[in-house]
Structure 1
């Protein structure tokens, strides 16, 4: 190793079994790979009891096209880890790692060779690789150092499924195994989450898909999983992992940090008393706000805010939805509909009424300008709701809304190319006075499911709340048709540092018999059709589907 060396001196009276450093050995302590057992492609180079500062890490790229990963390490991180954190090791490879740091007023440079083991994740029938293959199609100059976290889900879980056989009710039985990894711009795996450390289908507190990954302002990762939600750093160190508050249950899809330092989570309820007196577990229809300590500060009950009996979109989703019995006319009053529904079954299935999946909220954003939230409800539309629980506007087709909400539906302007979003995922503010939505397009114009001739879009809307109008200012993906069509999941998010729309069309080919997706990640220059990044993600695991992806910023992480 290229390192400053010291001549070892055996202390008087030292134990004969004490390790005596060899001449030329590095100045620092042990190298610990996978120090927290959750992130196998990370390591810590222990400081050996020395006081380091101003550290820098470079993990050299592998081969001609390999991407170097470089980052500064704050003194705070050096103290937290007791050494230098190493992120971005290649699996099943002897990695070349260069570290520099300041010690006793001198700048020291050292080289380490660190082996990281091969990727080890759950396996299903007919699988051909541990993770999908990420194929770079285009990476424009300036994007070579991008790191992308992919959040995929596998529903065909090998092994025991006790809670599938004996369902807890509500959405608790909706169990998935998360495949979560970070790839560089060359498509190489540089990090992954050892899901078997935190997922177990046979335990209530360990089942559920890992969803809603976000990088917080302090560089950590947050996500939720069934009955828990968590915050970890990129080395796998747990900051906190908490059970949902007792009043609520069944997290999935979204956890979001607000500018106030609180967190918004999409949940259901563990015991909901309907106006007709029936007690149920509600499904994907509540948003809670919690503080850093886990206290519930507020919650939004969409059953009271929207209309759980608007079922117009449910008929388009490819399976029988539970509607009011034949011959029963839908009423504007919720209680009247509840009394008219008879003995319709409850559970995690598309259907009208509290206790069924009538809303399917899959994304939340917080608008600090007026202390309100924006909710993407896949089975209804995009809705903005104030702290007072009143609807500010609805971005969805006008069809089927009750009288009390009809005037909240936005009116399109400059509408030649305008379209609503259909069974959408994500509805997030850009910071530019606009809103981006991933328009999946399943059930477009209330049409029945079809397996060809579809398209999805990333869309940017400008909303004038005072006038109650909406203008479509940009779209991408429509012209790509079926090869870019994602019937479910996916994301679009504005990236201010590159002025791009980051898009992941995450479930392409999911409705085919093989269920082997070929998903597409793009970065498109805002307001244009100029593609700056395109990665194709080829699944090697039947049944696995992409949920989201996001850009990882190492400058915040360490």
Structure 2
């Protein structure tokens, strides 16, 4: 693979015939590396007070297999940055950066030498490198210029832990450091977020892992972190960073932009009054919708919508789950079950009832066709909920649902619409539910893609071998209340591809692929050194177009998600 052979977006002739200043003569201003102190592998070539236009940037690949990064820059971006934005510098390297632009009616071509410093991120015991090693196993033609953002989390935080162990609950108990970087198709680091600029375990608003990265329609990045959520551009320029609305607390996992220009966030609450009048911190069980100004437009309280006492799956998750006391018969209503709890402890642990981690929502999508949301609740299943807070369907095993929700559980069918035979939780024709899943997103093709982690599959106890995860696509007929499994990938790869937690699958229309990151392979081993796998698989097939092997060199670091970055959106 040599990604340098592809022609640039700008017409080649324009570069060849452009005026080239004499050596040592720069027509523009200073080169400022890491201009906003957050993205050390970026720079701005200042315009020197001149009116330039039609800019194009090329950061030359390093070595024989290095990948060129090339993109056009709009006038809006030139005005915003006061010059030409440079993205994709190699760390600890003198980068060759070619720029072309128009100045006073002439086309100018220049080359800059720009040094970017080595990667600097938090370090833990027994660590051997700043970031994981990304190795290209396969990169098919047409994918050479892919850029992938990796969102990893480090649970063992170096330095002060004063807040962590003071039993504050929520994000204070679940503090993590995010390692977030972009690699090219050769595996080289071309961008990273200087996490120490925004994470601080000694401050309430600095706690929490950075999670839920998404590139918005305008090319910016959004993410959340504990008690805040943010929007920045790829050069590290802050668009906004906001505290969560006062009624809510403890962001993690998901923030999604909707077609309406609003944002859906997965949060909890710090002061929730249950029907039994106990006031608790609720755990990962609320969805809020905010507008661009940060106003709350709506929210979904899953304690009122689903059943906080459905605990069938909790016993399989590797630690003692909090259930109703032995001998107590579960009731149909939440209020009745609360009265049966006694003195069960509250906190961020798997357990039934509001104030415990009964839902663990880790993904949200918005269905514009009927103004509904689709949630992935790891400890329950995938659920579609309307604006009226009524459940439309449930994609999960039928065990344990209360009478009011049983009819919402989808019926598995084959391609002819015939109900599939079932015995002992196993269905004919290879159908399976998703188990402790992460991400449940619409594909834009009338289907739903889900990353089926497989922990607790068919309610089986935790085991350290003989597991598998899947990326799976379902077609749901809401009117008939049925679900058909169309495609899966990963099952045959077994333990080498098994991710007990985290991970993502997302349909990519630009290459007609299912983009998949099996993000926690090896996390249940004593060493906690993961070897994760990123794939792009041709839609509807087993034809792997991209495979990257991602080997952690930092004990305790685990992948959360990854995503494709579109530079055309970032600087257009």
- TM class by shorter-chain length? over 0.9
Q: Distance in 1 between matches of 2:486 and 2:296?
A: 37
Q: Is the 8 A contact 2:451 2:470 kept in 1?
A: yes
Q: Is the 8 A contact 1:55 1:73 kept in 2?
A: yes
Q: What does the per-residue CA deviation read over 1:143-163, in whole Å, with 9 as the maximum and x for residues that have no partner?
A: 000000000000000110111
Say whether residues 1:484 and 2:497 are aligned partners.
Answer: yes
SS at match of 1:32: strand
Map 1:422-501; keep pairs closer than 5 Å: 422-501=435-514
Structure 1 vs Structure 2 CA RMSD: 0.9
Q: Is the 8 A contact 1:507 1:547 kept in 2?
A: yes
How far is the alpha carbon of 1:5 from its aligned partner?
4.7
SS at match of 2:44: strand
How far is the alpha carbon of 1:299 from its aligned partner?
0.1
Say whether residues 1:418 and 2:456 are aligned partners.
Answer: no
Q: What does the per-residue CA deviation read over 1:356-388, in whole Å, with 9 as the maximum and x for residues that have no partner?
A: 000000000000000000000000000000000
Q: Is the 8 A contact 2:453 2:499 kept in 1?
A: yes
The answer for the alignment partner of 1:543 in structure 2 is: 556
The answer for the alignment partner of 2:15 in structure 1 is: none
The answer for the alignment partner of 2:539 in structure 1 is: 526
Q: What does the per-residue CA deviation read over 1:228-287, in whole Å, with 9 as the maximum and x for residues that have no partner?
A: 000000000000000000000000000000000000000001210000000011000000
Q: Distance in 2 between matches of 1:320 and 1:404?
A: 28
SS at match of 2:454: coil
How far is the alpha carbon of 1:3 from its aligned partner?
6.9
The answer for the alignment partner of 2:186 in structure 1 is: 186
SS at match of 1:97: strand
The answer for the alignment partner of 2:305 in structure 1 is: 305
Q: Distance in 1 between matches of 2:140 and 2:332?
A: 53
Q: Distance in 2 between matches of 1:5 and 1:322?
A: 72
The answer for the alignment partner of 2:41 in structure 1 is: 41
- Output the TM-score relative to the length of structure 2: 0.94
Q: Is the 8 A contact 2:171 2:208 kept in 1?
A: no
Q: Distance in 2 between matches of 1:520 and 1:429?
A: 22
Q: Distance in 2 between matches of 1:260 and 1:221?
A: 17
Q: Distance in 2 between matches of 1:37 and 1:224?
A: 19
Q: Distance in 2 between matches of 1:172 and 1:378?
A: 21
Q: Is the 8 A contact 2:171 2:227 kept in 1?
A: no
SS at match of 2:80: helix
The answer for the alignment partner of 1:97 in structure 2 is: 97
Say whether residues 1:173 and 2:173 are aligned partners.
Answer: yes
Ranges in structure 1 where 5+ consecutive residues have no aligned partner: 7-22
Q: Distance in 1 between matches of 2:172 and 2:364?
A: 21
How far is the alpha carbon of 1:24 from its aligned partner?
3.7
The answer for the alignment partner of 1:228 in structure 2 is: 228
Q: Distance in 2 between matches of 1:419 and 1:141?
A: 34
Map 1:269-418; keep pairs closer than 5 Å: 269-414=269-414, 415=420, 416-418=429-431
Q: What does the per-residue CA deviation read over 1:417-457, in whole Å, with 9 as the maximum and x for residues that have no partner?
A: 10000000000000000000000000000000000000000
SS at match of 1:327: coil
The answer for the alignment partner of 1:19 in structure 2 is: none
Q: Distance in 1 between matches of 2:410 and 2:500?
A: 25
Q: Is the 8 A contact 1:219 1:553 kept in 2?
A: yes
Ranges in structure 2 where 5+ consecutive residues have no aligned partner: 1-17, 415-419, 421-428
SS at match of 2:330: coil
How far is the alpha carbon of 1:171 from its aligned partner?
4.2
Q: Distance in 2 between matches of 1:26 and 1:532?
A: 42
SS at match of 2:131: coil
- Count of residue pairs brought into register by the alignment: 541
How far is the alpha carbon of 1:165 from its aligned partner?
1.8
Q: Is the 8 A contact 1:170 1:355 kept in 2?
A: no
Q: Is the 8 A contact 2:161 2:201 kept in 1?
A: yes
Structure 1 stretches of 4+ with a deviation exceeding 4 A read 2-6
Q: Distance in 2 between matches of 1:294 and 1:170?
A: 21
Q: Distance in 2 between matches of 1:183 and 1:171?
A: 29
How far is the alpha carbon of 1:172 from its aligned partner?
3.2
Q: Is the 8 A contact 1:133 1:539 kept in 2?
A: yes
Q: Distance in 1 between matches of 2:331 and 2:163?
A: 36
How far is the alpha carbon of 1:125 from its aligned partner?
0.3
Q: Distance in 2 between matches of 1:243 and 1:185?
A: 36
Q: Is the 8 A contact 1:246 1:270 kept in 2?
A: no
Q: Is the 8 A contact 1:3 1:111 kept in 2?
A: no
Q: What does the per-residue CA deviation read over 1:26-71, in whole Å, with 9 as the maximum and x for residues that have no partner?
A: 1000000000000000000000000000000000000000000000
